[in-house]
Structures are given as structure tokens and as C-alpha cells.
A and B are shown apart, each in its own frame.
Chain A
């Protein structure tokens, strides 16, 4: 699942998948603008079939935050 998540981030942010880790954030990825942040959440919702609450969306500061919220929606990252 982590790979699926990284693939989506890599596509939306237009960067190589190798450049992404759990600490990646708007500070380390220059394409991670606020607008691309919305696009990313939108794509995650579609691809993982989840719906983030406004609090969850506001809380996302880096990749591990995304993982945590996806896990709360039942997405399993321990495969």
C-alpha cells in the first residue's frame, strides 16, 4: 500500500518516487503547493475510496500524517 501511496504522490507532485519518504512535506517537495495539496487529497480519496474529514485534511503536514489518516480509514500499510 505504501508503494501505491508513493506512486500517487510522485504523480501529483511530479517528482521521482525515490525522492519520497515518510518525512516528505511541503518544505522538502517544492511542488507541494497548497493547491497540489488539495489535488493530492482528492486523488487519495478516489484511489483509496475514503473520505477525509476537514480536520484530517487540515492536519496533514507530511507523508506520515497521510499514512496515519489513511490507516484510520482502514487502509493497511503493514503488507
Chain B
């Protein structure tokens, strides 16, 4: 991130941001136990760098209790999407910050429990009153203790109490869908207490985060915004020479490239490890490299220090075509929109070429020093998610199977014949605590095969699931190559005893083109029939991306009625024979 820009410039820049320049918008509220001026302005600027307009509400100085407990407060009338509650150790501990040993060990324990309970009451009231996400900071650990070096010989010491507070808060919040913790404890470790806390700022104006570090804090809160808006990127497309290894394999040869345990080759090993970890949590990796295929693939397959292997890449374009054509091909092959890609290439000319032709792709500038590569990706915040799901952790495997499927498709002559050979199985599942995060994630991320493109947060899906007037479900897809995981979802609104409305119907791009939608629709129509419903109503809301689902309704015998499409339940509906449908 930009390390030199002082807070005053953020404040000035924030005044130049115009709401009309942005497609994505978010409302952010800031509550705090101390003076936190400048954070709202910094957040606005950081949002605008991600093409997001952030409108902000800042509660009065240390007014967070009142704002949350008063259901008519300005906080609630602002109706934020995300509320940041910024707490600090001095405010929470009060007098005990200086005199923790004026009370006994068991009193210290009780004190922490009491403070946790107060905070939980506050969270409960907040959640009752608003659907806003709540992000609470945990507490920073001061290096100070009145016991000095004896602190470590003190049982349930001052520092233990702070750590205990953080742990208890996490244990409670981990179960709450709409509440998250910002790890302020870690923020202070990263930047150092002597920097983040400035005594003069504190004594002057009760400013407990030094002015220079407010933009850093804003920067670290951006991942919540990205994740909330579903702007999380899906795939990193990598160059090879001087990106995954040092040197040029075509010139330096297999033995000449820099990749191994010694510097400078270890910088590339380190970067590959970082990428591997990203791929293990669901970020797709692909290659776009100008190289002789044989030279490059030999390194990938045989080099003893390659961390990333062939099956870590969902798609490899290693050829002499231009990078833009290759990007286009990768996007089509993986069925992912250009705006879900990050392009990572050490060559500024290639970067410029891609930037110019495909501005939707995020193309970060790279430092000359490969030891900073991981930091570049980290600071983008583009891969932030509120929660890592099972599908995320298995994605790498699933894309590799997908590659095998495409190979197999090439050998089949006609599509139905090919689909028959796949042994497709569809398990319809109810929404429950296991599937709700994934259903929400699908509504947030699916663009192409999505009838209405309605985005729902986890807590909304949860609310629908508990509502008798709604039917929420999802589909897990398996075939002979493996498990695709939960890749379809639907939400039906039971309008009245005669009519149901298809609020949401979507399939992940990974399983498109296999007529799975017919099986899911078959299931919904069956459910309607069982409940003596006469009509299933649906609406197609076109976007720039959902053309693939445009013909679903007419092709499935829905007839047009004004803006809607209606299926008469008495019409027989059949599902392709090669699909096996199970309802769990």
C-alpha cells in the first residue's frame, strides 16, 4: 500500500469523490470508543480505489452504546451495510489498565467475563435492530505492565486478561453469521505499538490510533467491503519467466533458471508457496506465458524445486500467441468473466497491453524485486471472503477434473452421448447450517447462469430458510470424474396456495451445459405439484452477463405473461434420462 501519503491528503481526496462515478456502492458506519476522525475519509478513498462509492456515518465520540441501544438512533436510520465498532484496551479496561493488580486474580477473571457479557448484549441488540454486518475490533496488547518483567510470573496477569478477552470474544462471534472480528491485535503487531499508539495524539485528543496509521486501518478494513459486495476475484493468471522462476527458460535452460533454496531462487520458491496456499483455499491458478511449451512444461513437471505442479493450474496457455488472446481463451475455458481475474506478469509491456485491451482485469504493477511479489497480491485484498467454504478448499481438485472432462468431451462426437458417459448425479439438499454459507456465496458470485442475479447475505438466506413461506434449496453435482460440490441453488417464494414464485435460480458456471437445470426445475415443479400449487411464476432479469440463462424459461414450457413467465403445473415436465436425481 501507499506508505507515504499523510492523513490530510486522504481527507482532501475524499472530498473529490462523486457518487455518480461509481457502479458499486456501500454504506459504512463507524462507531468507536475514542476519537477516530479521518477513518471515514480514508475508507472513502480506499473504496474509490476499488471503484466503490462508500457513504459513511460516524457516530459521536464514544457514543457507541447509546447508538446501538437506541433503536431510533442515527446509526439505524442510516441503515448501514457494514458497521465497524472500533474498541480499544484503555476504554474497555478503564482504571484497570493502570491498576490491574488493585484487584485479585479471580476478580480480574470476573471483570473480563463481565465485559464480554456487556459486549454480547450490545451485539444482540444490534442484530435485533438491523441487518447490517457488524465488524468489531479485538483489543491490542500494550507492552506496558505494572509488573514489568514479573508479568510473566503472574498468573492470569493483565496481559492474560486481554488475551482472554480476545479469545472469549472470538469463541462467541465465530457462531454468528453477521458478526466478524477485525484482528486489531494483529494490526498492532504488524505496525508496532510504538507507531500505532502516539502518546501526544492520545493525551491531546483521545486519539488512540496515531493519525499516520488511520489510512492503514482503513486499508485493512477494505476486505470486508470487497467480500460484502461479492467483488472477490476468482483466478490469478500467471506469467512464468521472472514470475514463477528467475530467468528465461528458453535462454537460460532448465538448469540455468533461478529456483531453489538459495537466493535469489528462494524468492520464487517463497512466492510459489504463497500461491499454493491461495489455491488451497479456492483461488484458481492459470498460466499465460510466451514460451516454447516443451521448455516450460519440462520445468513444471520435472524441476525439483517447483512447488506448483501441473494439477495446480486449471488452465495453461503456454505458446507464442499474444497475451490478450490467451486471456480471452482462459476466460472462456474456465467460464469466468474477465472482471474475476488478476493478471500477474513481470513484463510492463505485457501488463500495459492487457490493461489497455481488458480493463476489467486487475493488473497490478510489479516491483523488480521478486521477494515482494506475495505482498503485492496480499495488498490487493481482492481474494477476501468472510468465510472459507468446503467448495473453496476443493476447488483446485474440481477444476483439474474439469480439465479431464473437457479432454473426454473432445473424444465424444455429440453432446448427449458425452453427457450420458458422465454419470451425472444431482442431490437436492435443504438449506441448513452446512449449506447456507455456500448458498449465499453462490448468490453473491454467480453471474452467468443466474435468472434474477439477486445477491443475498448469509443471514438473509438463513431468514428465508426459517420462513414457511419460502423454499430454499441447493444441488450438489457429482459425476464420474468427481464431486463438483454444491453448484446450484434456488429460492422459491410461496406467494399463495395457488402460486409460487421463483425468486432465485442459478447454477455455477462450472456445471453449466449439462442440463442439470432441468433436474432442479423438475424437483421444484414436483414440490409445487405436491402442494397443490397451480402456477409457478418466474422472471428473467437480464444483465450484461446472464445471457446463458436467457432461454431457460421458454425452453422449459413457461409462457409469457406481461413481465413474467408462468408454468402451468399440469403441463408434464420431463428430465433428461441421463441425469440421476435424489432428494435429501
A52 to chain B, nearest CB (A): 8
Contact A46 B205 (CB under 8 A): no
Identify A42's interface contact among B7, B15, B37, B203, CB under 8 A.
Answer: B7
Interfacial residues of chain A within 39-72, with CB under 8 A of chain B in the complex? 39-40, 42-43, 46, 52, 54, 57-58
Contact A39 B205 (CB under 8 A): no
Is there a chain B Cβ closer than 8 Å to A20's Cβ? no
Q: A21: which B residues are within 8 A, CB to CB?
A: none
Is B9 interfacial (CB 8 A cutoff)? yes
- Tell me if B205 and A12 are in contact (CB < 8 A): no
Question: Is the C-beta of A4 less than 8 angstroms from some C-beta in chain B?
Answer: no
Complex contact B15–A14 (CB within 8 A): yes
A71 CB, nearest partner CB in chain B, Å: 20
* B211 interface neighbour in A11, A39, A52, A54, Cβ under 8 Å: A39
Q: How far is the CB of B44 from chain A (nearest CB, A)?
A: 15
Closest chain B CB from A44 CB (angstroms): 11
- Given A14-B15, A35-B35 in contact, is the A43-B8 Cβ separation under 8 Å? yes
Q: Does B207 contact A (CB under 8 A)?
A: yes
A11, A34, A52: the one contacting B8 at CB < 8 Å is A11
| B211 and A38 form a contact (CB under 8 A) | yes
**Distance of A47 Cα from B204 Cα, bound (Å):** 20
Interface-centre pick from A11, A14, A42, A52 (highest chain B CB count, 10 A):
A42
Interface residues of A (CB under 8 A from B): 11-12, 14, 34-35, 38-40, 42-43, 46, 52, 54, 57-58
Other A-B pairs beyond A11-B9, A39-B211, A58-B204, 17, CB < 8 Å: A11-B8, A11-B12, A12-B8, A14-B12, A14-B15, A35-B35, A35-B37, A38-B205, A38-B207, A39-B7, A40-B8, A42-B201, A42-B211, A42-B212, A52-B200, A54-B203, A57-B204
26 sample A-B contacts, Cβ–Cβ < 8 Å, listed by A number: A11-B8, A11-B9, A11-B12, A14-B11, A14-B12, A14-B15, A34-B205, A35-B37, A38-B204, A38-B205, A38-B207, A38-B211, A39-B8, A39-B11, A39-B38, A40-B8, A42-B6, A42-B7, A42-B201, A42-B211, A42-B212, A43-B8, A46-B6, A52-B200, A54-B200, A58-B204
